[in-house]
Amino acid sequence: MTIYKAELKTNIYYTIGFVIFFGVTILFSSRGANSRWILLIIFLFLFILFNVVTSRLNEIQLDKTNSSLTFIYKNYIGIKKTTKYNLTQIEFTYKRQATTFREGIKNVCTVYFSDKKVIQIVPDNDDWSDNEIRSFVNGLIDSNVKKKFIGYSLKDVEA
């Protein structure tokens, strides 16, 4: 089994930012009326709800012996969610494409399961590095996963 992981460097900044923001919110709420405490409680509830609902891809497990591909998602609170796919029905693309107007052109890996897009892994999104994505693509190639043809409009990247 081969494991590919995101660098997770933004988790530290996120935690520090939350502690500072929470401290400033309590400081301003303690100086005011009772209605500010209600706003603080509502804010905290919405913030915790957002962190429970949203998750990001932290790890990919490629198991050649069991012919499976597992995506492990984790939110900032630490709740894990895994999705497992059979490698025989997986296809992928590895193309140079524009991700947004500001970020420019990057090497993007898109994974498909039964002709449906499962995930698109972009460098610097969710702390995935270009080298880690490239090694994941090489792992898919070594596992004899089929490369999907989506047209000539985007240039293929050599892995």
pLDDT tens for each residue of 101-159: 776 788 888 999 988 999 999 888 778 888 999 999 999 998 988 888 776 666 666 65
Distance of alpha carbon 108 from alpha carbon 19, whole angstroms? 34
Give pTM, 2 decimals. 0.73
Q: Is the dihedral of CA 151, 112, 158, 9 positive or negative?
A: positive
Residues 55, 82: contact at Cβ < 8 Å? no
pLDDT computed for residue 29 by the predictor = 62
90 CB neighbour count, 10 Å cutoff: 21
Secondary structure letter of residue 148 according to DSSP:
P
Question: Which segments within the chain are labelled E, that is strand?
Answer: 2-5, 56-63, 68-74, 80-86, 90-100, 104-113, 116-121, 146-147, 155-156
How high is the pLDDT of residue 27?
Answer: 67
- Helices 34-53, 10-30: crossing angle, 10 deg rounding: 160
Q: Which of 21-25, 79-83, 108-112 has the lowest mean pLDDT?
A: 21-25
Please compute the mean of the pLDDT values over residues 30-37 and round it to a whole number.
62
Number of residues written out for the chain: 159
